[in-house]
Structure 1
Amino acid sequence: MHTRTTGLTRPAGSTRRGAVGAVALAALLALTGCSSDGDTDAKAEAKPTRSAAGKPAAATPDSQASPASEGPQADASKGPVLPDAKLTPATGTFTAKEKKYLSGRVPVNMDPAAVLQTGQETCQRIERTAAHDKNAAIGAIISGDLPEAEAAIKQLCPKQQPLLDAAETGFPGGTQKNPAPGTYQALTSAEGCTWQAMGDGGTVLAAGPGTGAGKKKVTAEVPSGTRTFVSTGCYAWLPA
């Protein structure tokens, strides 16, 4: 058994993604459309952006939002958001779970249906990618390459919860603090995946290009006492 790490947070250092990451991203970006357990008649005209830190951020309106006199402030970085009472589509209605997903997530002057469609598209991308390669879908969740993946899965496509559970046991490539000791597999088959496990004072406890190369699985042994695990070109890691 491995303890869960905070793997869903993107590391501060930049990383070079491996082949699986590139393939996953290409597949995810190529997929369009809208699917979830609940549909809406409204069409989206805007999509959320990603923050500079790499963690998915809420959609921003095309025009500058003015301060709101009412409604929740879900996140100061988002600015004013629509109160739940105003979360209504131009046509039709939202289901209870759709309203729960939208709560505190829709900026002022933004069409709630646009935010909802982004979540639905995220579910669709996860579903289609997992049907082809579950590890690619898990890696995309771990690395933060899917906007609002955690919220989308929990509220809009709960059948994908096992993928989210698996992602929470791993961590993205780059720098990871205090990883749980054990054997980890890199979610890439590209050559050039390298790693180091360092203890107190930066002492190197273990290092290597991984066991295997190219098309073989790349693994790393993280010993007890590891304070920092640094990898390059490995995309994301899961317990082996």
Structure 2
Amino acid sequence: MSYHVLAFFMGLLGSLHCAVMCGPLVLAVPGPRSRWKRLSNTLMYQSGRTMTYALLGLMMGVVGHSIEVAGWQQSISIATGILLVCMALFSLWGRRLRQVVHWQQTFVHPVVKWIGYWLQRPGGHFMVGMLNGLLPCGMVYMALAASLSADTLQGSGVFMLSFGLGTWPTMLAVSLIGSAVKRRMRFNAAFWLPMISLLMGGWFLLRGAGLDIPYLSPLIYPDGAVTCAGAQ
């Protein structure tokens, strides 16, 4: 499976979590009565959110590319796997830590104020989407950690762009159809988000282990090259 196809399906599966957590914000975005204008505003909102993900991916790519140049590709893959597993365990057992809650509230408050400002501005849907992409989200953290292992700086940006596009089907449905979608969804985000994170963490640990398993755990040589059995 292509690395970017994997990112798309991470977004597609994670969008169930996004619909639960961000659905109220999406529905709060005021929309005109015209169906086509509402669709245009929704597309602008989703484009802004995806743009933020891509920019964050490029920022992570700067870090990941520096590590790759230093010949630490295998180490960063293992570190990414450990980080994802720790995130999963924290989600399962550490969600109520007061310090983390306080940090999130401190960070979110100014972002929410700016969202409120742009909600009142004509054509502000793109900026609302970009600001929404900055709100704390476990799925986004997981995708950003995964983007560190992309082969190039641009690859990290494309990884996060693919992740963002993967969230579109569910988020567009929530935006256009409304709360009826949310009422029909039975998704236990508190359980499935850590499970997805554990699965991805295990994959990165295998990838960094270099067990010579094609595509799952390819050999990583000291110069950073990755080879898969049967590759030309």
- The TM-score, its normalising length taken from structure 2, stands at 0.30
- Higher helix proportion, which one? 2
More relative contact order, 1 or 2 (CA 8 Å, 6+ apart): 2
- The TM-score, its normalising length taken from structure 1, stands at 0.29
